[in-house]
Each structure stands twice: as structure tokens, then as C-alpha cells.
Amino acid sequence: MNIVVCVKQVPDTATERKLRSDDKTLDRDAADGVINELCEYAVEEALKIKEAHGGEVTVLTMGPSKATDTIRKALAMGADKAVHLVDDALHGSDALSTSYALAQTLKKIGFDLVILGSESTDARTGVLAAMLAERLGTPQLTLARKVDIDGSAVTIERVTDYGYDKVEASLPAVVSVVEKINEPRYPSFKGIMAAKKKPVETLGIADAEIAADQVGLASAWSEVVEFAAAPPRAAGTVVKDEGDGGAKAAEFLASKKFI
Amino acid sequence: MDDLLNLDDQLTDEQRMVRDAVRGFVSRQVLPRVGDWFEEGVFPARELAPALGSLGVLGMHLDGYGCAGLDAISYGVACRELEAGDSGLRSFVSVQGSLAMFPIWKYGSDEQKEEWLPAMAAGDAIGCFGLTEPDHGSDPAGMRTTAKQDPSGDWTLNGAKMWITNGSIADVAVVWAQTDSGIRGFVVPTSTPGFSAPEIHRKMSLRASVTSSLYFDDVRLPASAVLPGVTGLKGPLSCLSEARFGILWGVVGAARACLEAAVEYATTRVQFGKPIGAFQLTQEKLAWMAVSLGQAGLTALHLGRLKDAGTLQPRQVSFGKLANVRAALDIARQARSVLGANGVTLEYPVIRHMNNLESVLTYEGTQEIHTLVLGEALTGLPAYR
């Protein structure tokens, strides 16, 4: 089975993240780039499927040249090879054009199963898996907390507000996973050493037959019009218990839609 | 916490991956539990060894036989991150990799390597290293443990060793003994009749680490038990040089953990209407702790580069062990004072590190001996002879 895991490099959530003042895109130089946490779960799931059913795991990353760090991490975890889609023309692509660029690349490199994290910690749109499936014309099985492969059928448990749905489809398919699905392994030192020798193919947009006028900031369907720093945390509200503390606490929780 | 010198920017991507893997392991598997291990005086070696093995930590700087074959700086960085958890954890790894696996890897026969190294790298077999004796610590040349070879070629081992990390839990001991041809190393399965290893209790330091005595009462070993590749004290001393390299990196981790705890406490503990970190007395402590930590980190990195270049000399390792352990202990004590009464509880890592570092100051060459090594290097006059 040919499994492709889409892996994204995101700014480290432990550091201050910024948008650029000139074109209002993410300032990738302001923070260290790390592998998006949910992508680690996607890599882990791909490795588990490979271990159970055989095949090959390819990491696909679209991002600037410094995203090679993230690719190496996924390879150190145990993926077999990687494809790095890197081109200045991709800068500023929104979710729609990112899904187009990744779909074009996936068509070129081939796949039986595409696995993604259900969202990234930077943009948090959570739409890429659905868009990708649509562009590829394959079933989409999103928000999986469990994935089973049986021959050419893939079954997942999709997390919902009320529990879970069991969703089944035939391969090829696109799956997105949530953090309940597994516990990602640490890259072993042998894996770190082996990662140096694993092949990483670098593709530009022409190589992947991506039309320049459908990607990048200028072609984005969505636009960041304005942004502001989050306000500093305000002081808490102190409620004095005068025999009605329970009711007041419930009122507060209800006002915030917690209950 | 801000690393004022950005030292880790000097690391390669691969070394940073090693750092992150070990740091992740320590924060998930060790930090939530190590305070309890320390209080109870236990180290769950049989649980941790396979996990450390699959991570690749055990014998990570050796080549082949299931070892990862990483460079010296990666080994140092891994020791630093392990000891940021606890010196007992780093001691376990140092003893396994540098004191037990290293002599087998460097001086052992092919059969000894095949038998022990893959299992030890995987964490399925645990090793210990017997050099120090009850009456011979800094002066190992006077050791009284003997191995006598009879006409059949078999050896008989008699004597005792003390302060042996991992002794009671080990599957194999690398034991150094006097023979008719000088000091030799022996690979001793701990199941051999006549071998016993009672644990030493009532320690106030390295409580999350197993420390033992080893007794050899007519332990019969085949001719093949001797390490063929080395004769003389240079055998065990070369192992100690490996392990000390891990220590001079490791203690930087313990010191960093103490400084982090002190900064966190100083910025959140309010007295007289402001965080105690806003008082100049506290800031002076923190600043000097950070300076010492940075200097220790620089020393470790420099010595790591020398080791990777193949030019590291034992006296330079003495420099690093002497300077960095003292710096770490000073930082731990200062951190303890910043935390006030909270500093003496196991709710914070500081007193645990501080007590551990008292052992680290003494083991693998005491401060005094390393001082004399530098004294001799400067004057040409050996003070310990």
C-alpha cells in the first residue's frame, strides 16, 4: 500500500507567533518551525498501517526550504521517503489553493491512502482533508479516532459531538485523524541516523503541473484584511457567595455556553 | 526560559532531533514520577531500560551491534537532557553505555560483543562496572580483587567492589581484577555461582538509582571471560574518560532544571507586593546562575567538538568534570535559596538535583583528583604519588 502523509511545518506554539506587516501572511522567520502536532499522529498512523499491511510511507510537505527540518523528523520517525513541494510562487496560498497544489502533487506521485492531521496549529481551518478529497475525487473520511484497513476497504470511527460515526469507503481515500487515535512514537536515534540517507525529492510548481495563476497570495480566495494582537488577559470576576454561590456559578457557566 | 547564549543554535538538525526526542521522553516518562522514585529510593530499571533501548540511548555513541553510532555531541546532548530529569537516570545510561558496553565494544572478543552488546543496546540486558573497592577509590591501582588462572585456563575471581551503580539489577558485570599479568577486565554474568550484589541503602543522594556492593567468592569463569584487548589500568581509565564526558554534559541539564525552577518561582512568588524576582538580590543570584550555566554549556560544547575531532585528552575531560559539576552544584544551591522553604521539598526538582550532585561531585574521579590532574598538567609535578 502506497500511503502518503501530508505534513505541515508550523511556528512553535511555545513561542510568540506573528503575522508579517507587509503582506499579512505568517511570519515564518519570527518563530522556530516545528512539525504540526496532529501531523505526528498522522505519521504514526501511517507507520502502524504499514507495519500491519506492508507498503511504503511517503511524507508530502508544502512549505519553504526550512521545512526540511520537519520532513527529517517525519523520516526519523520511520517514513520511507519524502516529497517537498517548494516554490516561491506558493507563498501566501490559502486553503483552497493549497489543496489544489497538494492534489496536483498527489496525482503526480500516486497514492492508495492519504492521511492528514485534522487541522494545523497555525491557520486552524481544518478544511484541507475535505478539499483534497474533493479535488482528487476520492472518499473523505475525516476526524478519525480509529482507522482499519481490510483489503481495499477503509473503515474509520469519526468523532462527533454525540459519540462517533462508523464510516467506510474504498481505497483510494483521504483520511484525517484526531489526537485520540494513537500515541506518536519518538524518533529513535537509529531512525535519526537513517533519516539522513532517505530520499527527499524536491518539486517546484512546474514539476507538479501546478498552474502559477492558481496559487500564491494573489490568487487566494480569502484575504487577511486586518489583524490585531490578542488583548491581554483581563482580571477575573470575583463572585461573593451569599448563599447563592452555586446559582451564580451556574449562571456564569451558562453565559459562556459551557452548560 | 531564555537561553542567553543561544548555544543550541550551534547544534546540527540531527543533534537537535536527539535533544527533542530525549527531552520528550523525560518530560513524559520521568518528570511526573521521579520525585516519588527519589522519595521511595527506587529506580524502575526493568521498565525504563527497554524504553531507553528503543529510543536508542543505550550505547548510542558506539557503532554496530544494534547501537545508533551517533557523534559525541549528540551523546552529550542526550546526557544533558536525561540529567535534566535526574542524575540517577543519566547515571544508569552512563554506566550501561560508557562503563559496561564500551569496554566490551572496545576490548572484547567477537563472541563477547555478539553475546552482550545487542541485548544491552536494546535494554534487555543491564550492565554494571566494577572498579572501585571498599578500600580503593581514588587509587584503583591498589585494588585487592584478584583473578587467578589455573592450568585449564579457567579463572577464579575473589574480592569485593563497592559503590557500583546498577550492581543488584545487572545481568552482566565488567569487573577489573589483579592478575599475574597486571589488571585485566572480566565479563561476568551475574548468575555465576559465587557472585552476589547486595544493594546499598540509606543514601541521601542518587536515591532514584541502584547502588550496590559486589562480592566474588571463588567465582569460576571460563578462559573466554577475560577482555582480550587490554591489560593494565588504562582499560578502566579509558572507560571512565568516556563516562566523565557524559557527566560534564549531564550536569548542565541538572543545573538548567534548577535555574528554570528558580526563575519560575521568582517570577510568581509575591512578597512585599511584588514578585521576588523583581528584587535585586534575587536577580543577582539568577544572573550569576545563568552565567555559570552558559559557561558550563560552552565548556561541554567545546569538549564535544574536540571529542568528535578525535583530539580530546583526559586532562581536558578532568577540566570539564571539575568545572561543570562544581558550577552545577553552586547553581543548585543558589536555586534552593531562591525557592526558600519550598526549595527543600520534592514538590520542586531543586533539592533532588542538589543532593544528587553531591554524589556526582565525588564519583568518576573526585573533585580533588581532577584538581590534581590539572595541577600536574600545569606544573609537571604529580601531587598524588
**Closest residue in B to A32 (Cα–Cα):** B9
Q: B329 pLDDT exceeds 80?
A: yes
A186 contact residues in B (CB cutoff 8 A) = 21, 24-25, 55
pLDDT of residue A231: 84
Give the one of B13, B18, B24 whose C-beta lies nearest to A189's C-beta.
B18
**Mean pLDDT over residues B319-339, rounded?**
98
pLDDT of residue B239: 93
Beta bridge partners of B157: B147, B219
Assigned C-alpha cell, A45? 498512523
Of B264, B347, B364, B376, the active-site residue reads B364
Q: A19 pLDDT exceeds 90?
A: no
User: Quick one: angle between helices B234-268 and B350-362, nearest 10?
Assistant: 160
pLDDT of residue A24: 85
pLDDT of residue B102: 97
pLDDT of residue A200: 96
Give the confidence band of A28 by pLDDT, cuts at 50, 70, 90: confident
Domains recognised in chain B with CATH numbers: 7-122 (1.10.540.10), 127-225 (2.40.110.10), 234-379 (1.20.140.10)
Assess contact for B342 and B265: CB atoms under 8 A: yes
pLDDT of residue A12: 85
Q: Half-sphere exposure (CA, 13 Å, Cβ side) for B374? A: 14
**Mean pLDDT over residues A58-70, rounded?**
94
Domain that holds residue A13: 2-219
**Closest residue in B to A67 (Cα–Cα):** B13
Give the confidence band of B121 by pLDDT, cuts at 50, 70, 90: very high
A191 contact residues in B (CB cutoff 8 A) = 56
Domain count, chain A: 1
- DSSP result, B222-267: -GGGB-TT--STHHHHHHHHHHHHHHHHHHHHHHHHHHHHHHHHHH
The answer to whether residue A191 sits within a structural domain is: yes
What does the alpha-carbon distance between residue B218 and residue B147 come to, in Å, rounded to a whole number?
A: 9
Length of chain B: 385
**Mean pLDDT over residues B9-20, rounded?**
93
The answer to whether residue A14 sits within a structural domain is: yes
Q: Which helix (H) or strand (E) holds A59?
A: strand A56-62
Q: How far is B56 from chain A (nearest CA, A)?
A: 5
Mutate to test the interface with B, among A189, A197, A198 (most CBs of B within 10 A): A189
The answer to whether residue A196 sits within a structural domain is: yes
Sign of CA dihedral B140, B142, B146, B149: positive
Is some CB atom of chain B closer than 8 A to the CB atom of A72?
yes
Assess contact for B82 and B93: CB atoms under 8 A: yes
Give the one of B24, B54, B69 whose C-beta lies nearest to A193's C-beta.
B69
- DSSP assigned state of B365: S
Give the one of A69, A72, A190 whose C-beta lies nearest to B68's C-beta.
A190
**Mean pLDDT over residues B373-385, rounded?**
93
pLDDT of residue B1: 72
Sign of CA dihedral B280, B296, B256, B240: negative
**Closest residue in A to B56 (Cα–Cα):** A189
Give the confidence band of A165 by pLDDT, cuts at 50, 70, 90: very high
E strands, B274-318, where? 274-275
The answer to whether residue A236 sits within a structural domain is: no
Instruction: With CA atoms as reference, report the closest residue to B124 among B25, B65, B54.
Output: B54
Q: What is the CA radius of gyration of chain B?
A: 21
Q: A45 pLDDT exceeds 90?
A: yes
The answer to whether residue A122 sits within a structural domain is: yes
Mutate to test the interface with B, among A192, A197, A200 (most CBs of B within 10 A): A192
What does the alpha-carbon distance between residue A25 and residue A48 come to, in Å, rounded to a whole number?
A: 35
Q: What confidence tens digit (pLDDT) does each residue in B213-265 have?
A: 999 999 999 999 999 999 999 999 999 999 999 999 999 999 999 999 999 99
The answer to whether residue A240 sits within a structural domain is: no
pLDDT of residue A156: 97
B364 is catalytic: yes
Beta bridge partners of B91: none
**Mean pLDDT over residues A105-116, rounded?**
97
Q: A255 pLDDT exceeds 80?
A: yes
The answer to whether residue A17 sits within a structural domain is: yes
What does the alpha-carbon distance between residue B69 and residue B182 come to, in Å, rounded to a whole number?
A: 32
**Mean pLDDT over residues B349-374, rounded?**
96
Pairing relation of β-strands A56-62 and A140-150? Answer: unpaired
Q: How far is A233 from chain B (nearest CA, A)?
A: 16
**Mean pLDDT over residues A181-199, rounded?**
93
pLDDT of residue B15: 95
Instruction: With CA atoms as reference, report the closest residue to A8 among A179, A126, A111.
Output: A126
Q: A84 pLDDT exceeds 90?
A: yes
Largest CA distance in chain A: 71
Give the confidence band of A23 by pLDDT, cuts at 50, 70, 90: confident
Portion 34-73 of B in contact with A at CB < 8 A: 54-57, 60, 68-70
Q: What confidence tens digit (pLDDT) does each residue in A205-226 have?
A: 999 999 999 999 988 888 888 8
First and final C-alpha spacing in chain B: 46
**Mean pLDDT over residues B320-326, rounded?**
98
Mean pLDDT of chain B: 96
- Please tell me the pTM assigned to this model: 0.88
Is some CB atom of chain B closer than 8 A to the CB atom of A139?
no
Mean pLDDT of chain A: 92
CATH number of the domain bearing residue A143: 3.40.50.620
Q: B156 pLDDT exceeds 80?
A: yes
Is some CB atom of chain B closer than 8 A to the CB atom of A162?
no
pLDDT of residue A31: 79
Size of interface A-B (CB pairs under 8 A): 42
The answer to whether residue A77 sits within a structural domain is: yes
**Mean pLDDT over residues A229-234, rounded?**
82
